[in-house]
Amino acid sequence: MHNRLLLGPWIRRFLLEHLIAERNLSHNTQTSYRDTLVLLLQFIHSHYKKPLERLLIEDVSPEVVRMFLANLESVRSCSVATRNQRLAAIHSLAKFIGLHSPEHLAWGTELRAIPFKKTAEPTVGYLEKSEMDAILQFFNRKTLLGYRNHALLLFLYNTGARADEAAHVHVADLALGRSPSVRIHGKGDKIRICPLWPHTADILKHLVTKCADDDHVFRNARGTPLTRFGIYRLVQKAGVSVSSSDRSLRSRGISPHTVRHTTAVHLLRAGVDINTIRAWLGHVSIDTTNIYAEVDLEMKAKALAHCEIEAETRSRPWRSDTTLMAFLKAL
């Protein structure tokens, strides 16, 4: 069978040549695309009962892809957002094959015509200053583990870093001198410099004492780097424990992304302009950052107070104005 008709070689080229060599996408994005294709191949294999090595490009028909997407939602209980994420990976594969194989251009066009489902924009969750302070005070800093956990939470709040970004910070990325800062490796291997509060710098300075420059800043009890999943569990644990005594937090789940949103909203309240916040968080587009201007009720209330119309004082009815009536009768 002609190699250009088989699906397997194209998937290998897509993952190695396109995602890594051409687009240099992050490891997490590569993993997401790979997982999508694994699920898709398993579904097509069960549908056609054909060996994976003999699957053709044409076997990935629009009908089969629609069935696969429906299966994600109904059987695997995936959200609409996850369904759309999987479809984006399939669209990207179809585009790649169509560009390099003109005979499959029409096939790729049909596949890319499968629409994304509209989703409701989730409400951005963030913490008030008192709530964030309560979570920062949760861990016992007199123990090594508690000190590290406090340092991690303070770092996330100071920088607005994603969990994966915090997990990959090395000692060499820290500048803890007169103007403390940290070099953060963000999505797409983009690097940004984020300032640190003097208090954060002091906490981190004690945390990384005796560490080599190539050591990770945040490590577990065995000395191995914390993963983004470990950071997520740590923040979630603090949130659950604090919310048990704080009624305002009880109904909300706290995650590293909640802390990231909190950083953005608190910067906005402090008067930092939206473009600086965009650079601080590592957003590519200002549109992504603009959501924080939409969610802050406190700032909306202050804006409303500035344009509030004063209540008009009601004048007496003209009939009761005896002076005017006397004047008119005297004419």
* Tens-digit pLDDT string for the chain (331 aa): 457 789 999 999 999 888 887 787 778 888 999 999 999 999 999 998 888 889 999 999 999 999 999 999 999 999 999 999 999 999 999 999 999 999 999 999 999 999 999 876 666 678 888 889 989 988 899 999 999 999 999 999 999 999 999 999 999 999 998 899 999 998 877 899 999 999 999 999 999 998 999 999 999 988 899 999 999 999 988 888 887 766 666 667 789 999 999 998 899 888 888 888 888 888 877 777 777 766 655 555 655 565 555 555 555 555 556 666 676 666 5
Q: Looking at residue 1, what is its pLDDT?
A: 46
Domain of residue 59, residue span: 3-112
| Residue at 59 is within a domain | yes
Residues 254 and 185 in one domain: yes
Residues 302 and 195 in one domain: yes
| Residue at 302 is within a domain | yes
User: Where residue 45 sits, what CATH number does that domain have?
Assistant: 1.10.150
Residues 152 and 178 in one domain: yes
Query: Encoding tokens for residue 11?
Result: 């998937």
Taking alpha carbons only, the member of 34, 31, 13, 94 closest to residue 60 is 94
| Residue at 37 is within a domain | yes
Residue 191: strand pairing partners: 185
Q: Which positions are annotated as active-site residues?
A: 162, 187, 257, 260, 283, 292
Number of domains into which the chain is organized = 2
Residues 80 and 218 in one domain: no
> Which run of H or E residues covers position 7?
helix 7-13
Residues 147 and 73 in one domain: no
Q: For tokens 């410099």, name the residue.
A: 193
Residues 155 and 65 in one domain: no
Residues 106 and 24 in one domain: yes
d(CA 182, CA 11): 38
Residues 134 and 107 in one domain: no
Residues 108 and 149 in one domain: no
The alpha carbon dihedral of 207, 216, 256, 277 has a sign of positive
Using the 3D structure, point to which of 112, 141, 171 is the last residue of a domain. 112
Q: Are strands 191-195 and 174-175 parallel, antiparallel or unpaired?
A: unpaired
Q: Are strands 181-185 and 191-195 parallel, antiparallel or unpaired?
A: antiparallel
| Residue at 291 is within a domain | yes
Residues 144 and 281 in one domain: yes
| Residue at 276 is within a domain | yes
| Residue at 313 is within a domain | no
Using the 3D structure, point to which of 55, 77, 112 is the last residue of a domain. 112
User: Where residue 193 sits, what CATH number does that domain have?
Assistant: 1.10.443.10
Using the 3D structure, point to which of 112, 139, 167 is the last residue of a domain. 112
CA diameter of the chain:
113
| Residue at 320 is within a domain | no
d(CA 167, CA 160): 13
Residues 249 and 141 in one domain: yes
| Residue at 324 is within a domain | no
pLDDT tens by residue, 252-281: 778 999 999 999 889 988 888 888 888 888
Residues 91 and 158 in one domain: no
